[in-house]
Structure 1
Amino acid sequence: MTAILTEEHLRLVQRLRKAALLILAVAAIAVLPFVGSAWSEAVHDGLETFGIGLMIVAITGRAWCSLYIGGRKLRALVTTGPYSVSRNPLYLFTFIGVFGLGLQTGAVLPAAVLACLTVAVFATVVPYEELALRGIFGPEYITYCARVPRYWPRFSTWQDSKRLEVEPATIVRTVADALPLLLAYPVMEAFEYLQNAGLIDAAFAIY
């Protein structure tokens, strides 16, 4: 994979990523109603609460990232704030949010499966994004990649900006994209109610 991608190719790859995530979401909605928790009620409720906390962290984190990148991904190489410790902090917060979403089943396994599938989707796309960014920013981006990890943060590389150029519309759009995560709680509660009422058969009781 040595060819440099154009911005048009990058946008196509990003659209394909969104389509893959949509397919994953639809598949999850089709399967999760038939999944029950094998944990005790106390653990079940604790996992749900923890998951809500993770989704709030994800939404807040994505908004924080947008303060720095603000729709400038292809116009400027952002290397400060969350982007100084991770090259893809927006994606990292997405993984956290999806894991929290899966915990709304009251079980850990569905959360782990959903998170791993989401990571797999991004792992397919990110190398192509990096090719495009390398073509746009050249040696500066190569140096940045050598210093900052792709996902998991390296806090020793933290750097901040004295001033930020903020695009409110981008922040609102980023938060709005993540807000549907919180719908997982009422939706999964509705599924659980239907299971308890005998209207849906929980074919799988898992941890």
Structure 2
Amino acid sequence: MKRTSAAVGSFGFLLVTPGTVCVLVPSLITRWRRPVDPVPWVDGLGWVLVLAGAAALAHAFVAFAWHGRGTPAPSAPTERLVVEGAYRHVRNPMYVAVLALVLGQVLLFTSWGLFGYLVVLGLTVHAFVRTYEEPTLREAYGPPYEEFCANVPRWLPRLTPWRGVRRRDPRRRAAVDQR
């Protein structure tokens, strides 16, 4: 897939899926009502999580289009295993970003309903990753994905970037040699 097509597809998926999960559903739960007197440090932490989550989410979508030449949508998957940027620290930066963004909103809106949504969302994402996404990626990418899984944590980011598959992926080496 061309990078332009991948970028357009990724952007469309970003608007629909994370847009629904991170904006539409929280707005329906909270009605965008914030506490009259928010606790400053809780409010600040909430904003940090929302902004960091949004930035990480945008970065991950760009990585899919630019490095993977595909989208996060199962109907237009990446051509290459993406192990660039945030993916060197955590296997699922999109999901981590979405959960951080929703957690930030829990703090900003001090909403128990939104907290319940966050818990259900986290459990659902974990089950989806374990039962569908990881087996699908193992089948698609084989040993490079196994090496990636062995070295990069699923949910809690590692402090130093992992560089394994990036240097040793034979498909990537072949693409570099053909230039």
| TM over 0.5, shorter chain | yes
Long gaps (5+) in structure 1: 1-13, 162-207
Are the aligned partners of 2:29 and 2:114 in contact in 1 as well (CA < 8 Å)? no
SS in 2 for 1:151: coil
User: What CA distance in whole angstroms lies between the structure 2 residues aligned with 1:28 and 1:104?
Assistant: 11
Q: TM-score, normalised by structure 1?
A: 0.54
User: What CA distance in whole angstroms lies between the structure 2 residues aligned with 1:31 and 1:66?
Assistant: 26
Are the aligned partners of 2:26 and 2:114 in contact in 1 as well (CA < 8 Å)? no
Residue 115 of structure 1 aligns with which residue? 118
Tell me whether 90-99 or 48-57 shows the greater mean CA deviation. Answer: 48-57
Identity, % of aligned positions: 23
Aligned length: 142
Taking structure 1 as reference, are residues 22 and 62 closer, same or farther at Cα in structure 2, changes over 3 Å only?
closer
Residue 138 of structure 1 aligns with which residue? 142
Quote how far apart the aligned CAs of 1:53 are: 2.5
Quote how far apart the aligned CAs of 1:22 are: 4.7
Q: RMSD of the TM alignment (CA)?
A: 3.6
User: What CA distance in whole angstroms lies between the structure 1 residues aligned with 2:29 and 2:145?
Assistant: 41
Are the aligned partners of 1:51 and 1:100 in contact in 2 as well (CA < 8 Å)? yes
Matches within 5 A, 1:165-184: none
Of 50, 75, 98, the match for 2:102? 98
Which entry has the higher C-alpha Rg, 1 or 2?
1
Q: TM-score, normalised by structure 2?
A: 0.61
Q: Deviations over 1:107-150 (max 9, x none)?
A: 37555433322211211211201111111111221121111111
Amino acid at match of 2:116: V
Higher relative contact order (CA closer than 8 Å, sequence separation 6+): 1
Residue 55 of structure 1 aligns with which residue? 50
Are the aligned partners of 1:80 and 1:158 in contact in 2 as well (CA < 8 Å)? no
Quote how far apart the aligned CAs of 1:27 are: 6.4
Quote how far apart the aligned CAs of 1:159 are: 3.5
Are the aligned partners of 1:74 and 1:136 in contact in 2 as well (CA < 8 Å)? no
Quote how far apart the aligned CAs of 1:98 are: 0.5
Matches within 5 A, 1:66-77: 66-70=61-65, 71-72=69-70, 73-77=77-81
Quote how far apart the aligned CAs of 1:30 are: 5.0
User: What CA distance in whole angstroms lies between the structure 2 residues aligned with 1:28 and 1:63?
Assistant: 19
Are the aligned partners of 2:152 and 2:162 in contact in 1 as well (CA < 8 Å)? no
Residue 164 of structure 1 aligns with which residue? none
